[in-house]
Amino acid sequence: MGISKGDSIIIVGAGVFGLSAALELKQRGYTDITVLDRYAPPAVDGSSVDLSRIIRIDYADPVYCQMAREAYQGWTTEYKDEYYESGFALLSETPRNDWIENSKATVLANGGTVEDLKDATQLLKSYPNIQADLAGMNGYLNRRGGWADAARSIQKLASRCSVEGISIISGPRGTVKSLRREGSRVVGVNLLNGGFLLASQVIVSTGAWTNRLLDVAHAASSSGQPVGFIQLTPEEARSLESTPVMINMSSGVFCFPPYPGSNVLKLARHGYGFANEVTVQADGVTRTVSSPKLESSNAQTGYLPEDADEGLRQGLRQFFPKIGDRPWMNRRLCWYTDTPKGDFIIDHHPELQGLFVATGGAGHGFKFLPILGKYIADCFENKASKELREKWRLAPAPANSAAYTMKGDGSRAGPPLRQLTHVEKAKL
């Protein structure tokens, strides 16, 4: 690799991948680390922001199940003030959901426990305050799980980075427009304000914006997933506070208990989402990719396509029928970084020297916040197992472009990926 502990490292992206990598590398003795981002963490339109993210150990894939169990220890200790153990219920409208069955088997094989719900109305025995229409649904409950305050968690992680002496630069001086190259080596980054920064090693952790900097369209793409928020009265919030995180694996819609204090209820959909095609130019090559906006906030307008809004509304009516027609107080698209099988991309670039890529959260990266940096640093230092490095490698583009499918790990539901229309894109 040819990098020493005193060499300069630039990390592009101050989300969960970038900040966790920065902290772990600093703790391993790397002394010159700078993190760059458009906005100070937690970024207003990042995927690791706002009120809540699901924390679960439930995975069909044994690798992520084991990692999630490890991360759970961090949530219940180091990040215990940001974690709420409400329980996590996975539900289905069909007699059998393969992902639920595989997840249950993996959890049990890793020493976990679950409670079968052949009839989802059994949930009411443990959570009598649930208002949801659970008739005809089935699944299971894992009491070891719940949700974390995403914004506060990222703020804590960023604060820890600052205390360790890591520089975090945001605004135009922190917005990376392109990678700075000399031949086949990346030597730094070019900034939106016209300046540039040099470094011995650049780590790209830009999530849904990755394809703007690097052509990895065969390995990652971006999709917007709908999120909605409802303001409850204090009395309504109290009536729902002792309820679990619930997901309908048939529709992809999931919900959280009300946020303490603000009494805000959140719903979202873990689905295939919406693609926002934009034209980008780098190294003299013009490409069309799916990406959020770069130079302004993607959360500002609160716009959702009509079909996305209706999908969330149906979920609201199912989970909370008493307020099923209440207006949203806020909505937005949350931008995922999709990968073909839902695997992360954590690897040295196979062709560009001085470049390391840590991205591809695929809608589930945040829950590994307490331990993700360790795994990234192990790959950076070539210490990770051969199996992990193969799982997370930045594979070369296949000859057949039809292979560029981003179906994920099988946990998603709802309508297929849809391209936003020109009218919809103008409203973002």
What are the tens digits of pLDDT across the range 54-73?
999 999 999 999 999 999 99
76 domain-assigned: yes
Mean pLDDT (whole number) for 334-354: 97
pLDDT value, residue 425: 97
Characterise 210 by phi-psi region: left (phi > 0), alpha (psi -120 to 50), beta (else).
alpha
48 domain-assigned: yes
pLDDT confidence of 402, banded at 50, 70, 90? low
Question: How far, in Å, CA of 403 to CA of 170, rounded?
Answer: 36
Question: How far, in Å, CA of 391 to CA of 347, rounded?
Answer: 10
Residue by residue, DSSP assigns 187-222 as EEEEETTS-EEE-SEEEE--GGGHHHHS--TTT-EE
Phi, psi angles (nearest 5°) of residue 281? -135, 125
Which contiguous run of DSSP H or E holds residue 276?
none
Please report, as a single letter, which amino acid is at residue 290.
S
Within 95-214, strands assigned E span 115-117, 138-142, 145-148, 167-169, 176-182, 185-191, 196-198, 201-204
Q: How many helices (H) and strands (E) does the chain have?
A: 11, 24
3 domain-assigned: no
pLDDT confidence of 355, banded at 50, 70, 90? very high
Q: Which domain holds residue 58?
A: 8-427
The count of other CB atoms within 10 Å of the CB of residue 285 is: 8
Strand partners, 222: 337
Question: How far, in Å, CA of 209 to CA of 38, rounded?
Answer: 11
18 domain-assigned: yes
Question: How far, in Å, CA of 34 to CA of 231, rounded?
Answer: 39
Strand partners, 264: 231
Question: How far, in Å, CA of 406 to CA of 289, rounded?
Answer: 14
Q: Tens of pLDDT along 193-223?
A: 999 999 999 999 999 999 999 999 999 999 9
Q: Tens of pLDDT along 171-189?
A: 999 999 999 999 999 999 9
Q: What proportion of the chain, given as a percentage, has pLDDT over 90? A: 95
Closest to 237 measured CA to CA, from 255, 262, 206:
262
Tokens of 372: 């993700």
Closest to 365 measured CA to CA, from 37, 14, 64:
64
- Look at residue 41 and tell me whether its pLDDT is greater than 80: yes
pLDDT value, residue 33: 98
pLDDT confidence of 3, banded at 50, 70, 90? confident
DSSP letter at 122 equals: G
Tokens of 290: 């799916």
Within 69-109, strands assigned E span 83-84, 88-92
- Look at residue 311 and tell me whether its pLDDT is greater than 90: yes
Phi, psi angles (nearest 5°) of residue 247? -130, 135
260 domain-assigned: yes
Q: How many folded domains does the chain comprise?
A: 1
2 domain-assigned: no
Q: Tens of pLDDT along 102-152?
A: 999 999 999 999 999 999 999 999 999 999 999 999 999 999 999 999 999
1 domain-assigned: no
Report the CATH number that the domain containing residue 393 is assigned in CATH. Answer: 3.50.50.60
- Let me know: does 203 contact 21? Beta carbons within 8 Å: yes
68 domain-assigned: yes
Which contiguous run of DSSP H or E holds residue 48?
none
Tokens of 329: 């107080």
